[in-house]
């Protein structure tokens, strides 16, 4: 039986480890932190359920269904409240719902008449012949005009990537949108004819989470892996060995008691003298790196400087969450939506600090005590990349100031929690796909080494699960087309 080592216990690493383990492979997962889940973390405090990372994800992927089914979690799934469908965008200091249909489009004051007319010209805009890779902003301005970029796409990009649409690549961030122009000549034409042609059943765009928060998913995966999940283990490097790979790891924050067995590979475990007896040398036939790109770059640097150099070019933006709980009676807004996003233009004009606010308790049940309202407010991103330098109290003040201006909340919250992600979201900037393709090509020379994670083809939890599942399948059935892997 092949010994497989998965490095990184976020949702990507856990998913690939789970499917390989279920298929009978000898799998061990090494994770730096004591806990599993990576960016996904749910905490409970004072009656609030606090999502410290993702709040929910789109219910679009069969791979996610299969995983939930296999873990017996399908019954735990909850969907976004039907009465909280609106997505608000701030314009001229006021919340305006994004139109959901043609009638709302005509009546909305989110865009001016000029902006709407320009948007309606989209089907008549010719496909670009320029082979140069376009940013999201270039594409959207060319096809739909600046106003649609400023007051629809820019806030959407903030919501997904916390990024700058002028820096991010359309092809890498929104491959479907890119494909609509490539294949059908435009967005409207593609939306009308594309689906018909493919005969795809339309899956309802719904957000989901779990009754007790998103991290029941990593917790359930970790439970199945049992002592094959080794937490508190910082992997330092992976090198080619005579047959397979040699991995060097040390105890991370909390020292792993010496003598802890690394499950499937104990017979190859040896202490590394230079690490004062706290480290291991582990041998494996195959290695899957499910760590962020900057960590992956460090780990594989001794084996391939070329791949490491490409991966270290991927930039991450920071995010700080200021979670606030208010007395519901202090908020006059109906809270009939998922929350709001602030366009960059508006942030500059009005001096807002937050990127947006998710109305957690309006979207899902059991997120706040009776009579309270929970908001997950986000700061940072490409717009405020120095956010880690601000103190908690400064960030809380900035958040409360914006909530006062936008929602008119004058009273203090009765609960606040600040959660920091220094390197939160990888940015798929211009050239991203080319970088990933080169990495994939270089890995062909290193059979048995595989990469997965949110920096490759998709940021969302659903994307990560889907890609990790595909990777597991391709490892199990070697004739399948490879994803990012060496053989
Ligand atoms: C604040 C925030 C909000 C988000 N909101 C949403 C949302 O609402 N919906 C959505 O779908 N997605 C959202 N996302 C994105 C999504 O959560 C992530 O893209 C996804 O969870 C990433 O999973 P991953 O396993 O690829 O990486 P990670 O979760 O980053 O996991 C990588 C793991 O590798 C470990 N590691 C790193 N270095 C080493 C090492 N040397 N040795 C061993 N282990 C190591 C890390 O500790 C970590 O556990 C959000 C992300 C953030 C940060």
| pLDDT tens digits for range 254-274 | 554 444 545 444 444 444 545
Helix or strand run (H / E) with residue 159 = helix 154-161
26-36: average pLDDT: 95
Q: Determine the distance separating the centroid of ligand 1 and the alpha carbon of 117, expressed in angstroms.
A: 41
The residues pairing with 238 across neighbouring beta strands, listed in sequence order, are 247
pLDDT of residue 204: 79
* Average predicted confidence (pLDDT) for the chain: 91
Dihedral angle computed from the Cα positions of residues 346, 350, 351 and 355, in that order, rounded to the nearest 10 degrees: -40
130-151: average pLDDT: 96
pLDDT of residue 279: 75
pLDDT of residue 251: 83
Give the three-state DSSP class for 218.
helix
Tracing tokens 């001016």 back to the chain, one arrives at 112
What's the DSSP call for residue 127?
A: P
Residues 111-198: name the CATH superfamily: protoporphyrinogen ix oxidase, domain 3 (1.10.3110.10)
pLDDT of residue 191: 84
Which atom of ligand 1 lies nearest, measured to the CA of 462? 11
Out of 3.20.20.150, 3.20.20.70, 3.90.1150.10, 3.50.50.60, select the CATH number for domain 3-40+215-314+428-476. 3.50.50.60
Confidence of residue 198 (pLDDT cuts 50, 70, 90): low
Has residue 200 got a pLDDT over 80? no
Indicate if 73-83+316-426 has the same CATH topology as 3-40+215-314+428-476. Answer: no
CATH class of the domain comprising 73-83+316-426: alpha beta
Q: Which residue's alpha carbon is at the smallest distance from atom 14 of ligand 1?
A: 54
Share of the chain above pLDDT 70, in %: 91
Q: Determine the distance separating the centroid of ligand 1 and the alpha carbon of 469, expressed in angstroms.
A: 16
Q: Determine the distance separating the centroid of ligand 1 and the alpha carbon of 321, expressed in angstroms.
A: 15
Q: Determine the distance separating the centroid of ligand 1 and the alpha carbon of 11, expressed in angstroms.
A: 7
Q: Determine the distance separating the centroid of ligand 1 and the alpha carbon of 485, expressed in angstroms.
A: 20
Q: Which residue's alpha carbon is at the smallest distance from atom 22 of ligand 1?
A: 454
The most confident of 188-202, 238-252, 361-375, by mean pLDDT: 361-375
Which atom of ligand 1 lies nearest, measured to the CA of 358? 8
- Beta-carbon neighbour count of residue 87 at 10 Å? 18
Residues 236, 302: Cα–Cα separation, whole Å: 10
Q: Which residue's alpha carbon is at the smallest distance from atom 53 of ligand 1?
A: 424
Q: Which residue's alpha carbon is at the smallest distance from atom 4 of ligand 1?
A: 54
Q: Determine the distance separating the centroid of ligand 1 and the alpha carbon of 40, expressed in angstroms.
A: 6
Q: How far is CA 298 from CA 239, 283, 303, 304, 429, in A?
A: 12, 19, 10, 10, 21
Those residues with Cβ within 8 angstroms of residue 151's Cβ, 6 or more apart along the chain or in another chain: 89, 91, 110, 111, 115, 343, 345
Q: Which tens digit of pLDDT belongs to each residue from 279-328?
A: 788 999 999 999 999 999 999 999 999 999 999 999 999 999 999 999 99
Of 67-71, 88-92, 265-269, 455-459, the one with minimum mean pLDDT is 265-269
Domain ranges for the chain, please list them. Answer: 3-40+215-314+428-476, 73-83+316-426, 111-198
Tracing tokens 């939306």 back to the chain, one arrives at 191
């Amino acid at each position: 039986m092949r010994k497989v080592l998965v490095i990184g216990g976020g949702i990507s690493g856990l998913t690939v480890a789970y499917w390989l383990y279920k298929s009978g492979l000898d799998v061990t997962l090494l994770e730096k932190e004591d806990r599993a889940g990576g960016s996904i973390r749910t905490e409970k405090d004072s009656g609030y359920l606090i999502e410290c990372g993702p709040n929910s994800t789109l219910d679009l992927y069969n791979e996610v269904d299969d995983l939930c089914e296999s873990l017996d979690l399908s019954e735990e799934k909850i969907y976004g409240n039907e009465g909280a469908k609106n997505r608000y965008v701030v314009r001229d200091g006021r919340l305006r719902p994004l139109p959901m249909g043609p009638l709302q489009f005509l009546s909305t004051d989110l865009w001016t008449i000029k902006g709407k007319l320009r948007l309606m010209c989209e089907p008549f805009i010719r496909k670009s012949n320029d082979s140069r890779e376009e940013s999201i902003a270039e594409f959207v301005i060319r096809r739909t005009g600046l106003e649609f970029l400023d007051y629809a796409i820019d806030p959407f990009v903030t919501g997904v990537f916390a990024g700058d649409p002028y820096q991010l690549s359309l092809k890498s961030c929104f491959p479907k949108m890119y494909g609509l122009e490539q294949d059908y000549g435009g967005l409207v034409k593609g939306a009308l004819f594309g689906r018909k042609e493919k005969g795809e059943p339309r899956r309802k765009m719904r957000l989901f989470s779990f009754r007790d928060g998103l991290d029941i998913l990593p917790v359930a995966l970790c439970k199945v892996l049992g002592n094959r999940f080794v937490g508190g283990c910082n992997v330092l490097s992976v090198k080619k060995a005579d047959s397979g790979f040699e991995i060097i790891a040390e105890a991370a924050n909390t020292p792993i008691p010496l003598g802890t067995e690394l499950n499937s590979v104990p017979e190859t475990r040896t202490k590394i003298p230079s690490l004062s007896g706290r480290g291991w040398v582990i041998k494996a036939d195959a290695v899957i790196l499910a760590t962020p790109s900057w960590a992956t770059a460090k780990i594989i640097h001794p084996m391939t400087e070329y791949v490491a150099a490409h991966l270290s070019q991927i930039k991450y933006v920071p995010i700080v969450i200021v979670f606030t709980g208010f007395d519901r009676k202090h908020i006059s807004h109906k809270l009939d939506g998922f929350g709001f996003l602030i366009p960059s233009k508006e942030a500059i004009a009005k001096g807002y600090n937050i990127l947006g606010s998710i109305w957690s308790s309006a979207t899902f049940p059991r997120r706040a005590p009776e009579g309270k309202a929970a908001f997950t407010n986000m700061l940072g991103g490409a717009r405020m990349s120095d956010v880690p330098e601000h103190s908690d109290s400064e960030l809380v003040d900035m958040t409360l100031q914006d909530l006062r201006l936008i929602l008119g909340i004058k009273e203090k919250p009765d609960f606040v929690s600040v959660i920091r992600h220094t390197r939160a979201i990888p940015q798929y900037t211009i050239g991203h796909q080319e970088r990933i393709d080169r990495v994939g090509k270089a890995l062909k020379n290193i059979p048995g080494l595989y990469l997965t994670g949110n920096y490759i083809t998709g940021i969302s939890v659903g994307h990560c699960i889907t890609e990790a599942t595909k990777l597991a399948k391709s490892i199990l059935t070697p004739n399948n087309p490879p994803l990012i892997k060496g053989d």
